[in-house]
Structure 1
């Protein structure tokens, strides 16, 4: 893959990368591709690729999607599956949030829902991590197609949680819920 963020930063393709590993790899490579040192346009493009690879790998959801693509799993456009009952659950949650914020638009109410959504984010990250371990337990193993499909299903649900977190943002200029 020409724009594979793991290859661009020279990192082992795995979900459980630490933030400091990503930063070190990025800083090592960006130093040689800095625009002040670049004599031609391809080096400027390399800086942009390095920046995008860093952004992708620092975001666990995006990192998981990149790893899934690398392993040959389905992308979100071709597989929109969700866990059983998830859509109803997220619709009920959104309704509860809207009602609570209408009754009490205080930062405390918003923070409560933000904390719940962030807990769900952590749960999805843990599930996806375990699924990646199951999909290809050893480097070089052929990935398990069923595990890859299950990862896509979890990532689709995780995207809903990320969107919920974005909508709960405390900045009224960016938030979608309530006043």
Structure 2
């Protein structure tokens, strides 16, 4: 557990700097020092990437992200500050919540892409709702098949054929994620036209996710009718 610092020592509110004011080691995260264990309350809210000491890059290493979450969480978890002064307990709670929130964004391919596109000045989902051009005819066909299945009674042949459509949409979602990765890696410059392409690819990922959720609901209804 981190003990209170003696009077006159640096205040734990300067976590945005690159070095620890206590031990002078490089800070890997703005929330704490992994060398001496001191907690910080950043002067400004870190971005999800800054929270984990990572460069802004859609193509991050998921295993490295997991390792950093584990390492940093062990230093800031409130359970380790149960007997610490109230201010340090509060900082530990805030830091844990911030790390978990950043992890939720970075560990989700679609949410991470949405954040990166916005951070680089690309269009939002409200500003650019278009799907990739080659995707449109497939969307019409899939929509018709989903609607036909929804209107068919459980146990019908139409409902029974949903597995094939689920496989198709899952494969296309994987392809769309690969295309999204190609549009964002290496990171585009601000206002780069690739950001609009990335938004279109992300729109496709979201569409396929919603369609798969609808199909899963229909499959569950089909299974319960047997």
Query: TM over 0.5: same fold?
Result: yes
Q: Do 2:173 and 2:205's aligned partners in 1 also have CA atoms closer than 8 Å? A: yes
Deviation at 1:124, TM superposition (A): 1.0
The answer for the alignment partner of 2:192 in structure 1 is 145
Matches within 5 A, 1:149-168: 149-168=196-215
Question: In the alignment, what sits opposite 1:70?
Answer: 119
2:58–2:187 contact (8 Å) kept in structure 1: no
SS for the counterpart of 2:79 is coil
Q: Distance in 2 between matches of 1:166 and 1:12?
A: 33
Bigger Rg over Cα: 2
**Any unmatched runs of 5+ in structure 1?**
137-141, 170-174
TM alignment of 1:110-121, pairs within 5 A: 110-121=162-173
Task: Give the distance between the partners of 2:218 and 2:100, measured in 1 at CA.
Answer: 29
Tell me the TM-score normalised to structure 2 length.
0.64
The Cα RMSD (Å) is 2.5
RCO comparison, higher one (Cα < 8 Å, 6+):
1
Query: How many pairs does the alignment contain?
Result: 167
Deviation at 1:147, TM superposition (A): 0.8
- Taking the aligned partners of 1:168 and 1:27, their CA distance within structure 2 comes to 35
CA distance in 2, matches of 1:95, 1:77: 25
Unaligned stretches of 5+ in structure 2? 1-43, 82-87
Matched, 1:12 2:47: no
Deviation at residue 100 of structure 1 after TM alignment = 4.9
Whole-Å separation in 1 of the counterparts to 2:143 and 2:50: 39
Give 1:12 deviation, angstroms. 2.6
1:114 to partner: Cα distance: 2.2
Question: CA 1:153/1:28 → structure 2, altered by over 3 Å: closer, same or farther?
Answer: same
1:95 counterpart residue number: 144
Q: Tell me, what secondary structure is at the counterpart of 1:121?
A: helix
Q: Which residue of 2 aligns with 1:24?
A: 67
| Shift of residue 30, structure 1, vs aligned partner | 1.2
1:92 is paired with a residue of what secondary structure? helix
- Could you state the TM-score of these two structures normalised by the residue count of structure 1? 0.78
